[in-house]
Amino acid sequence: MSSWDQYLDRLKVPSVTEAAIYGLDGNVWATTKGLEGLTVEQIKYLAGSSEPMSMSGPKLGNMKCMLLKDDRSNPMSLCLHLRTSQADGKLPVCVGKTHKALLIVIGSASGGQLTDAIYKLVTYLKNNNY
């Protein structure tokens, strides 16, 4: 068990089915099985500008996603809102970015519950220089 597992547990609210914390360099800090194996390129794409995502949505491993809204600069959200493709269940996805990490959650309920989980942990980690 890594020291990051405790932070992963904070992301796993009842509506979260998958969660992960990756370093911005692409290294896995902690993840559930469904978000294992994201590539360095996928992490960098998610951490970068959302502008190209409107033309070509990001992938989470083999799951194709569609950009809904980039709220990462909104201090009340801090979330990049995505939705998986119909083939992957059209599930809500929320991605948050800190100074050193990318936090990802996939859920079974509304995106608002995911945003809240991401918001709290992104804020905490940023305040602690992560």
Q: 36-88 pLDDT, tens per residue?
A: 999 999 999 999 999 999 888 999 999 999 999 999 999 888 999 999 999 99
Residue 41 · residue 33 · CB < 8 Å:
no
pLDDT at 54: 87
pLDDT at 75: 87
- Sheet containing 28-31: order of strands: 28-31, 16-23, 101-107, 92-97, 79-84, 63-71, 59-60
Measure the CA–CA gap between 13 and 49, rounded to whole angstroms.
28
Q: Where are the alpha helices (DSSP H) in 37-110?
A: 40-47
The model's pLDDT over 9-25, given as tens digits with 9 standing for 90+, comes to 989 888 899 999 999 99
Q: How many helices (H) and strands (E) does the chain have?
A: 3, 7
Measure the CA–CA gap between 50 and 127, rounded to whole angstroms.
24
User: Domains along the chain?
Assistant: 5-127 (3.30.450.30)
From the CB of residue 82, how many other CB atoms can be counted at a distance below 10 Å? 27
pLDDT at 111: 64
Measure the CA–CA gap between 80 and 60, rounded to whole angstroms.
13
